[in-house]
Amino acid sequence: MIQGEHKSCFAAGCKTMVPRLHLMCPMHWSQVPRDLRQAVETTFAAWQAGGTPHPYVIAIRRARAAVETGQKRAEAVANGPDFDTWWARQSRETKARIYAGNRSIRVEGTVR
């Protein structure tokens, strides 16, 4: 491998080597939401055409944060929430709906 042709993936802690013009390895890139992937590609092209690098830097930081957030969510689901902690975070209204048997309660941003 010639020096400069490859670099490590931009995702935190990933040592996978990717082509120099790629931001992340395929596994991590697939975890970035489509709109952020498009923003990275668009801002990179604008920078290469003579624009400022600032929008690109912001876009790649958002992409990296999306991967890290996704990993943290996956770990939380795998480990399962501690019921007492979860219950303590719920509002009085949510608890009242649970007691009343309402199945359309809002829990951590999702409707269950």
Give the pTM: 0.59
pLDDT at residue number 50 = 92
Q: Residue 17 forms beta bridges with which residues?
A: 8
Distance of CA 109 to the CA centre of its chain: 16
Buried b (16+ CB within 10 A) or exposed e, 46-77: ebeeeeeeebbeebbeebbebbeeeeeeeeee
Cα angle: 29, vertex 16, 23; to 5 degrees: 40
Q: What is the mean pLDDT of the chain?
A: 80
pLDDT in tens, 17-49: 999 889 999 999 999 988 899 999 999 999 999
